[in-house]
Amino acid sequence: MDLVQEHSKNSRNQEFQNNPSRNRGRRRGRGGRKSVEGEAVLHYLRNGSVENGGRLCGAEMGFPCSSKSLSFAARPGFGQLGTKCIVKANHFFAELPEKDLNQYDVTITPEVASRMVNRAIIAELVKRHRESDLGMRLPAYDGQKSLYTAGELPFARKEFTVKLIDDDDVINGPKREREYKVVIKFVAKANLHHLGQFLAGKRADGPKEAIQILDIVLREMAMKRFCPVGRSFFSPDIRKPQQLGDGLEAWCGFYQSIRPTQMGLSLNIDMASAAFIEALPVIEFVAQLLGKDVLSRPLSDSDRVKVKKALRGVKVEVTHRSNIRRKYRVSGVTTQPTRELVFPVDNNSTMKSVVEYFHEMYGFTIQYTHLPCLEVGNQKKASYLPMEACKIVEGQRYTKRLSEKQITTLLKVTCQRPRDRENDILRTVQHNDYEQDPYAKEFGIKISGKLASVEARVLPAPWLKYHETGKEKDCLPQAGQWNMMNKKMINGMAVRRWACINFSRGVQDSVARGFCNELAQMCQVSGMEFNPEPVIPIYTARPDQVKQALKHVYHACMNKLKGNELELLLAILPDNNGSLYGDLKRICETDLGLISQCCLTKHVFKISKQYLANVSLKINVKMGGRNTVLLDAISCRIPLVSDIPTIIFGADVTHPENGEESSPSIAAVVASQDWPEVTKYAGLVCAQAHRQELIQDLYKNWHDPVRGTVSGGMIRDLLVSFRRATGQKPQRIIFYRDGVSEGQFFQVLLFELDAIRKACASLEPNYQPPVTFIVVQKRHHTKLFANNHRDKSRTDRSGNILPGTVVDSKICHPTEFDFYLCSHAGIQGTSRPAHYHVLWDENNFTADGIQSLTNNLCYTYARCTRSVSVVPPAYYAHLAAFRARFYMEPDGQDNSCGSSRGCKNVAGECRVRPLPALKENVKRVMFYC
């Protein structure tokens, strides 16, 4: 019987009804003071409507039409715990202008889709009319509908005619000229007084419009000098491009964004790298892409498809006309070689070959007629361009998937030691020379040339508890790391029934047996009970026979074990195994119900004690064991966790890579299953609509013809699982949510907190444990540097700040409850602190309380003996979501409607095909480790 059936509405959820009055009393006694807005939203989250004069409309599980009534948790004060120190941050103080900021609406006719062309039109308008009609104003433009000025223009509405010459088309001779009508109309003034109050902490809501205007102003010069990509700017002149192979190169650049902080406005500058298509003749690009000579032999069908995928959407310029450099966007590649291509040249269907046409029209002889042509234009009116007559236009970012080799090379380009990165950031600020920036001058913005100096604290590492039978019963990590020498897992599990499949041709049976023996010994030394003999002899199989091999071993073991389950499957994989790993995990976890541990060939041949120790840690947690726990957890000394049963959730959504337009997003939720230790987690996964960030399957209900309304969802199932594992129902919820951008905070909090509320209420009337909802962000650009790089007592071996460094002042939000925590030791490159933003807090955490809890949890990550950069429940959720992408059908194309219980998008318009269900014995343990 599954969880949904066992805990349907009809059963009244007896497991959660043992003492409802006791829970209500605790809930009232612990409730903190909240603003009217907070109470209103809380009422909405419980009842679907808002009182106190406001109303949040929308479907029961949809969005409110306004988020203005919602206030995020206010900062409860600043942390005091830890050793105080000074760090530098890549934030540069921006002095607030005293001028009026005005917004104008821009309408361009005929309408232009390209922001670049829009910018060229407005630049021409400013050039022609600045000294006259614009009253000497130098406006900033967003490339779309809005134009901003410091002070008013001499008019409220005015129409201009702009003639734009297409400079790209012709080098010498007559140039094409296009005429546009531009209407500029006053819209509003930006409230800088409001912004000043917000930065001073006197207002909770920041005027996004004013901040956006200042951001656009400071980006104007960079837009003209560099190649913009999102919030970053790139140029081959910043640093010499590095070859990535296959016609790609890495460009260096910088990220720039203006942010509201406690010190006022701050300009956040960071270094960046991205892959660009090299500005090569197309034939050279194709030769690099295919890795072979293309001048003497025709392309195969597979080669042509590869070229088509790589060049589709890429801009090229023609080179066969000496004075014209017209640009086109590639739409495809012809199936026929150039010598066979003909097309009609008049209405009488007179046909002419491409070779003849180019010779007669341009005097250009096509040499490589065995190659296909590029198709440009649309399907109705496509034109042919010979490859040898085209060159790739410079400055095009490559947005498709990179190969493993290219990713490795790009990471090497990006990887910089902290001192080098700091120096590059300072050089970038000097090179941008904001003091002489005409737009910054016009708007009265002054940028400091120095990195912000910030007070920080280094939190102490927690003591870790190991088993009493080991030589070392506890351990205090040093510089964020420790080892398993002389220690035994605190809860070592038993593996009595295991098997091994060898998928690697290079690994002989004797080598595989030796490796398995070494691994079994390491598991035993680490505190597990591990049978040295497999159920059946090691089975050798081909990588392309994974399904047959798994089922053969499974059934052979079942026959020998006479009904007992196989507890663990070891798999030896080739180093480059393609889809083998994903196929194996999908079959084991959704079909056979097997826990598996994969090992690569290189580790089998070169056995290291450290590797075997890490694998033993992974095996133990997959079996349901615990490697270590916090000593404070055993001693019940963790504030707001140890006092009453507390469940800690981690949640994340992973989205398909760029270019995958139909693949679903994958949501994962994990939850702690032990208390007070908070070390073991169970996980659930779900597919949902493409690029949908809100987790749709947190709570759901549906109508069953027999049982009526039935409730389910990931939160509900994990709460039930916690009760089963601990014998107690959670009386406090801490929810770490990964992967949410600032623009989605309101939506995610409203939707997902509502789902948590409903999941709790479906288990027991009036069951509403207090919730703390924390967003975890890694994709930000704040870097922290040691104040003195020579002071070895303030840095780790990589030159980074020490693990446990926390910042909650100066560069943090003016009023809200957020902090930066670098919980890990750097290995290479510059460490990136995680940014934690407490959006909702009914548990009334102090700053020290949530910061020390988060830092301490980072030492409980099960897969290694190091503290990690992100709090483990969020990390586990990310791993589980990543794992679940392997569960989709191998072709990844079937997104047809599933059952009525499948996931929907926000509008409820479409369903995605549900993932195959995890086997019960799999989802109870940390299968994703």
Q: What is the CATH number of the domain that holds 832?
A: 3.30.420.10
Cα 426 to Cα 240, 263, 268, 270, 575, distances in angstroms: 18, 19, 12, 10, 41
Q: Do 278 and 240 touch, CB atoms closer than 8 A?
A: no
Q: Is residue 902 part of a domain?
A: no
Cα 353 to Cα 342, 345, 583, distances in angstroms: 4, 10, 49
Q: Is residue 600 part of a domain?
A: yes
743 three-state secondary structure: helix
When comparing pLDDT for 176 and 432, which is higher?
432
The strand pair at 498-502 and 568-573 is best described as parallel
Q: Is residue 824 part of a domain?
A: yes
> Could you tell me if 642 and 724 lie in one domain?
yes
> Could you tell me if 423 and 383 lie in one domain?
no
Q: Is residue 69 part of a domain?
A: no
> Could you tell me if 207 and 306 lie in one domain?
no
* Per-residue pLDDT, 15: 55
Rounded to an integer, the average pLDDT of 18-23 is 42
* Per-residue pLDDT, 882: 95
> Could you tell me if 614 and 676 lie in one domain?
no
Confidence of residue 761 (pLDDT cuts 50, 70, 90): very high
What amino acid occupies position 50?
V
Give the residue from 653, 686, 649 showing the smallest Cα distance to 670: 649
Rounded to an integer, the average pLDDT of 209-236 is 95
CATH code, 332: 2.170.260.10
Secondary structure (H, E, C), 263-301 = CEEEEEEEEEEEEEECCCEHHHHHHHHHCCCCCCCCCCH
Rounded to an integer, the average pLDDT of 15-34 is 41
Rounded to an integer, the average pLDDT of 388-406 is 92
Q: At what angle do helices 301-311 and 282-290 cross, to 10 degrees?
A: 120
Ordered DSSP codes for 665-700: EEEEEEEE-STTT---EEEEEEEESTT--S-TTSSE
What residues contact 136, with CB distance under 8 A and at least 6 apart? 130
Cis bond upstream, residue 460 (ω within 30): no
Cis bond upstream, residue 676 (ω within 30): yes
Domain's final residue, options 600, 625, 650: 625
Q: Is residue 55 part of a domain?
A: no
Rounded Cα distance between 928 and 598, Å, is 12
Structure tokens at 738: 């990964």
* Per-residue pLDDT, 401: 86
Q: Is the pLDDT of residue 891 over 80?
A: no
> Could you tell me if 584 and 512 lie in one domain?
yes
Q: Which of 136-140, 146-150, 424-428, 913-917 has the lowest mean pLDDT?
A: 913-917
What residues contact 705, with CB distance under 8 A and at least 6 apart? none
Confidence of residue 16 (pLDDT cuts 50, 70, 90): low
Q: What is the pLDDT of residues 72-97, one digit of tens each?
A: 999 999 999 999 999 999 999 999 88
> Could you tell me if 666 and 799 lie in one domain?
yes
Q: Is the pLDDT of residue 13 over 70?
A: no
Q: What is the mean pLDDT of the chain?
A: 89
Q: Is residue 68 part of a domain?
A: no
> Could you tell me if 845 and 710 lie in one domain?
yes
* Per-residue pLDDT, 145: 95
* Per-residue pLDDT, 165: 82
> Could you tell me if 613 and 641 lie in one domain?
no
The strand pair at 248-261 and 242-245 is best described as antiparallel
Q: Is the pLDDT of residue 894 over 60?
A: no
Q: Is residue 18 part of a domain?
A: no
Q: Which of 6-20, 91-105, 554-568, 618-632 has the lowest mean pLDDT?
A: 6-20
CA 862 to chain centroid, in Å, comes to: 22
Report how far apart the first and last C-alpha atoms of the chain are (Å, whole number).
27
Q: What is the pLDDT of residues 501-537, one digit of tens each?
A: 999 999 999 999 999 999 999 999 999 999 999 999 9
Confidence of residue 380 (pLDDT cuts 50, 70, 90): low
Q: Do 271 and 425 touch, CB atoms closer than 8 A?
A: yes
What are the start-end ranges of the H helices in 742-795? 745-763
Rounded to an integer, the average pLDDT of 868-884 is 97
Q: What is the extent of the structural domain holding 867?
A: 629-888+912-920
Q: Do 515 and 523 touch, CB atoms closer than 8 A?
A: no
Rounded to an integer, the average pLDDT of 713-739 is 97
Q: Do 854 and 873 touch, CB atoms closer than 8 A?
A: no
Sheet holding 382-386, edge to edge: 382-386, 372-377, 327-337, 315-318, 390-392
Q: What is the pLDDT of residues 54-77, one digit of tens each?
A: 333 333 333 333 444 578 999 999
> Could you tell me if 658 and 775 lie in one domain?
yes
* Per-residue pLDDT, 321: 84
Confidence of residue 458 (pLDDT cuts 50, 70, 90): very high
> Could you tell me if 660 and 781 lie in one domain?
yes
What is the value of pTM for the model shown?
0.90
Token pair 């589709």 is found at 312
Rounded to an integer, the average pLDDT of 701-721 is 93
Domain's final residue, options 625, 658, 674: 625
What amino acid occupies position 723?
R
Rounded to an integer, the average pLDDT of 222-230 is 94
Cα 377 to Cα 149, 330, 384, 398, distances in angstroms: 39, 7, 9, 21
Rounded Cα distance between 102 and 155, Å, is 12
Q: Do 250 and 276 touch, CB atoms closer than 8 A?
A: yes
Give the residue from 865, 876, 857, 855 showing the smallest Cα distance to 925: 876
* Per-residue pLDDT, 34: 37
> Could you tell me if 117 and 171 lie in one domain?
yes
Q: Do 924 and 624 touch, CB atoms closer than 8 A?
A: yes
> Could you tell me if 828 and 856 lie in one domain?
yes
Q: Is the pLDDT of residue 150 over 90?
A: yes
Rounded to an integer, the average pLDDT of 794-818 is 96
Q: Do 671 and 684 touch, CB atoms closer than 8 A?
A: no
Rounded to an integer, the average pLDDT of 603-631 is 96
CATH code, 589: 3.40.50.2300
Return the DSSP state at 816.
B
How many structural domains is the chain composed of? 4
Domain's final residue, options 625, 660, 687: 625
Q: Is residue 826 part of a domain?
A: yes
Give the residue from 517, 747, 528 showing the smallest Cα distance to 617: 528
Q: Do 46 and 768 touch, CB atoms closer than 8 A?
A: yes
What amino acid occupies position 831?
S
